[in-house]
A and B are shown apart, each in its own frame.
Chain A
């Protein structure tokens, strides 16, 4: 950017080379352009008839070079595209937060924010001050959330009913994903898995294992826990009533950890002696471990041949190199402690399970722990024809699990299929009618943006959205209904069982409004000069 030029031919560069500033209208224009571009990009994935995107990673390098990704998940799409526009980055960020916080609704939040900004473009051209729009939006957001709250239902006291609701929510969430063909099956899978958690939101004890091969309907929920490891050679492959010791200890050579120590000997004989001592130390350790009375030993670190052989001799199953998460999860599932010292066998808590066996999934062997104590853990085994399908299925299952576990925490529910949006839009419109002053226009724009969501859903499904939406709006005056995606008509969502979590909907509206407000407040974009690239000297 050129600085201002003075009379004396002395250009005054205010910013460093490469830096610069966009002001007022220009800034706003580039802000809107970025937001709308992101919104339009992701819009077509919304709803049960939304389309997927192929993301191709950069071919030139990096770990994912040339990898393909087929997805419908807003947060995943946005996190993979490198955007340069500052405002687009804000939108990417909200979808990420939505993903972290709720797990689903990542597309809706971005689309709503960008629709809000699209409305603003009009308002700004009518010379309405952004601050007025913002204060209108704040009122509108409040009203929207309040009106949504009035129609929520809470069935958490009635267990049967609640389970039914969860099934419906899972089905609604799944209906926009790749798994929609088998949505009843997967909904049941997910609900069962989540109900096992007994209200915890920690999804750690639900494990998802992906295996290439077969088709998706061969996926199943495994009671218990699967560990993707092999059992050592010469060891029993099946143990009933296992007592499991979970450890995190070096089983190669137990090094002396005191700093600065080293072995210095003057003869080969002494080396041999030391070696023997080391071996003996290892044997001691193994003996100590065996004293715990365990018949399965699982270690996070490597188990070398020698101790491995010792364990095999005693008929103990030893599993090495279970990764950190695996060990933690195992400990949680089996109810044992992760043990690093072995001097107090009476105090150590061992994990228990009824049966450990090696089973085959596709072509791979995994170790299955069934009949575990805590009963919280379960494993979802996904099967599918291609890696892309598996990955997408995993993301969908993850979304569903997140939504379900959040719903268990905050059990209020509302209606999906655009019903909630329509309801909020109508409530906000009514507020606009009552509000005096320019804010009313802003509030009205908020309701228009809300109404865009069902419009886009209908558009994506290939229906006549303007017809449907106006019918819907009229129908909404009397009851809560919205359209049926299969038939393209208006229907009662309560009958169709299309439910969504209230928490999710609320968060979508609030975050989208927050982000749009933030973008609207910007009147200057100031760029620092990009950091000069350092030459990569690592390869020279």
Chain B
């Protein structure tokens, strides 16, 4: 363990204790590392736990720029949490990969991983080697996955009867804020998927579904547009707002004078050139328009901008046009309308045009916003879900929720096996894993049993979030499952009166669940295998501040002869002494030419300083007499804090040694010229207050003494103390500015 505590002073003479050396690296290993990983993972999982299930709560995320996101989606929460801890980051990755792969269950996977790690902690305490735990988990995961396959049911996938699919989508949407219009949203998601699903290949191309949001209206106004919606309008305000039977030219070349890519110069040397160029330019524009007109198009969609002239030419030729349409949208339009993206005007032919039955502008509210809606396309399988909602956050959240629902339905199309949700399949797996555990002869048995317990964390969290007594309910369900041999029993979160998840139609996809278990296990294995972690150190400063305000009030002169002696001895100028005296008089509330403890405590900086009392102790005992300090003693004390930058300003008071001595005295209260463990402890406790546990302070103290103590007497001598602070510019740190 490197240096734990060093004392330093900042430029105002305020002592700062630096835990851990600044230039050394942090390193953790062994059981310590495991424990710290588990703690971090637990913290992340606990944050997410309350979002699980239909009764889960939302999180409000404040971004670095102060924007607000309110969400219930595990992956989104984690990605916006700005987790710094390394293990925390792994969990973020975990939920992200679940999101990429399955799209749903991102919260569940993190909760499961957290529970697995929590169980591992208990096993580690029992003295089981992490690798054995990891192996046990691996075995258990295999048992659980096999069991899942066994209890999975094949689900009817019928294009005519969408209800079962809608039920699944509803399970996913149940936990989101949009569950108010759960059915409508689920229906939209299902019909969107069915619209683009390729039943032959059993796959769904997500590129064909776009989710577009627009603030305003209500959630109920959300619609599925079988076509494309883009956030653009016609380029000229006088173009018709509606085109029927549009033949669309999709261009990726700008309506601008040609701009060759190679570097060139075109010099105009005489009037003819000028005129010719003018003609050429004009020709170019009419050529462009003509080529479009010739192809038979009656709508132009362009990725780039138009020149004013081109824009007007288009208008006068009755060619409505849309400009600055983004790349992905252009592609989507091309796919939807069956058109080809044309990069050059010359290549435009009538076969390359896309077709849409109805293109029109949508208006919203009072702001004059418009959107362009392209419907009845040639290839009708692209669709856009157009989300409306009362505010920005709800629209964003609805978009995320719909994405999850879409993913789930897609997964069903890919693989129509399902398991029952509401914790039913987790409980069933837990029972199975626990049963199998007893058959394992080796130490792994414990790990497998722990795995079974961890599996129950999901139904436990569900029950807890729904406001039930979690342990009682889960054990009830568990015993029922065994008694009835029915793996469909789960937690009745919504109080519907039955805990048969089939009756409630709470359905989850098999691949989603499988993925959750295997991803979580994988990650936990990985974390358990890390036993050493190094990272650049972060220094934690505990700052202790003591400054003595030098005041600025009117002056009362001390005795002339006193003044001279004082100046000689301390190196203060007469003016400084004068000012210090006035300060002294201000502090001296009783007007008796000396300061008491109470007077010093009135200095607010001293009062709030955790070491303030100690500081006064030092001042009173070492510099004053009988708990009083008079002006002469006061000024000798302050002389220690004069700057000693130049030889001439050095006096017996402000040498480096005497400055450090003052510090040393702060610790060494029995004046034996040694700081022993108890003295150090006392000061540390004062410094950190109640924030740090006593055990930890003791460890800091032990570490500090071990490190600084060179002669092995378990205490720090003044020489050792000075050596520690060797590199610190005591003069700089322990000086203050005296006003004149």
Contacts and interface: CB of A to CB of B under 8 A. Distances in A.
Given A258-B258, A262-B266, A265-B270, A249 B309 contact: yes
Contact of A248 (B50, B280, B312): B312
A78 to B, nearest CB: 13
B391 A514 contact: yes
A259 B57 contact: no
Given A8-B28, A131-B55, A262-B267, A341 B313 contact: yes
Interface string A1-25: 0111111111111111101010100
A249 to B, nearest CB: 7
Given A5-B692, A12-B36, A101 B216 contact: yes
A526 B312 contact: no
A84 to B, nearest CB: 7
A511 interface: yes
A338 B84 contact: no
Contact of A523 (B58, B85, B258): B58
B526 to A, nearest CB: 18
B265 interface: yes
Interface string A181-206: 00000000000000000000111100
Interface in B246-273: 256-260, 263-271
Interface in B281-314: 281, 285, 307-309, 311-313
A203 B368 CA distance: 8
A328 B237 contact: yes
Contacts of B63: 528
Contacts of B466: 131
Interface stretch (A86-94, A233-241, A451-459, A471-479): A86-94
Interface string A95-132: 00101111100000000000000000000000001110
Given A84-B66, A525-B60, A526-B47, A204 B177 contact: no
Contacts of A138: 180
A460 interface: no
Contact of B85 (A3, A203, A522, A524): A3
Interface string A508-540: 001100110110011111111111000000000
A12 B215 contact: no
Interface stretch (A160-168, A270-278, A358-366, A492-500): A270-278
A518 B177 contact: yes
Contacts of B316: 337, 339, 341, 344, 347-348
Contacts of A430: none
B102 to A, nearest CB: 24
B39 A260 contact: no
A514 B394 contact: yes
Interface stretch (B74-82, B553-561, B672-680): B74-82
A393 interface: no
A85 to B, nearest CB: 10
Interface string B78-115: 00111111001000000000000000000000000000
B363 interface: yes
Contacts of A4: 39, 43
Given A348-B316, A510-B218, A524-B50, A14 B28 contact: no
Contacts of B392: 93, 97
A339 B312 contact: yes
A348 B277 CA distance: 26
B365 interface: yes
A14 B366 contact: no
B277 A9 contact: no
A94 B84 CA distance: 33
Contacts of B696: 5, 7, 9
B64 A528 contact: yes
Given A100-B365, A258-B280, A529 B64 contact: yes
B695 A7 contact: yes
Central interface residue in B66, B258, B280, by most chain A CB within 10 Å = B66
B279 to A, nearest CB: 11
Nearest to A258: B257
A100 B307 contact: no
Interface string B43-61: 1100100100001011111
B467 interface: yes
Contact of B308 (A12, A14, A340): A340
B537 to A, nearest CB: 11
Central interface residue in A201, A405, A528, by most chain B CB within 10 Å = A528
A257 interface: yes
Contacts of B84: 13-17, 19
A511 B221 CA distance: 13
B60 A526 contact: yes
A13 B59 contact: no
Contacts of B308: 248-249, 340
A515 B390 contact: yes
A340 B259 contact: no
Chain A: interface size category: 35 or more
Nearest to B63: A528
B285 to A, nearest CB: 8
A100 B369 CA distance: 10
B700 interface: yes
A129 B494 CA distance: 12
A514 B220 CA distance: 12
B44 A14 contact: yes
Given A13-B85, A256-B277, A341 B309 contact: yes
Contacts of B180: 138
A87 B60 CA distance: 8
A457 B503 CA distance: 50
A260 B265 contact: yes
A18 to B, nearest CB: 9
A159 interface: no
A256 B68 contact: no
B17 interface: no
Interface string B305-329: 0011101110110000000000000
Nearest to B703: A9
Contact of B540 (A11, A129, A332): A11
B390 A94 contact: yes
Given A518-B70, A523-B57, A525-B62, A258 B82 contact: no
Interface string B336-377: 000000000000000000000000000111111000000000
B485 to A, nearest CB: 33
B213 to A, nearest CB: 12
A273 B57 contact: no
A101 B693 CA distance: 56
A157 interface: no
A14 B43 contact: yes
B264 A522 contact: no
A11 B315 CA distance: 68
B669 interface: no
A261 interface: yes
B538 interface: yes
B389 A514 contact: yes
B8 to A, nearest CB: 19
B174 to A, nearest CB: 11
A256 B391 contact: no
A193 B280 CA distance: 49
Nearest to B40: A12
Given A7-B695, A518-B393, A531-B64, 16 more contacts: A8-B36, A9-B699, A12-B43, A13-B538, A14-B88, A17-B84, A89-B68, A93-B391, A102-B365, A138-B180, A202-B368, A257-B256, A514-B390, A518-B394, A521-B70, A523-B57
16 contacts: A9-B19, A10-B32, A12-B40, A12-B43, A14-B85, A87-B60, A97-B392, A131-B55, A202-B363, A249-B308, A256-B268, A259-B259, A263-B274, A337-B238, A515-B391, A528-B82
Instruction: List the 3 closest A-B pairs by CB distance, nearest first.
Output: A340-B312, A523-B57, A531-B64
Interface of A: 2-17, 19, 21, 23, 27, 31, 84, 86-87, 89-90, 93-94, 97, 99-103, 129-131, 138, 201-204, 248-249, 254, 256-266, 270, 273-274, 276-278, 281, 328, 331-332, 337-341, 344, 347-348, 402, 405-406, 510-511, 514-515, 517-518, 521-531
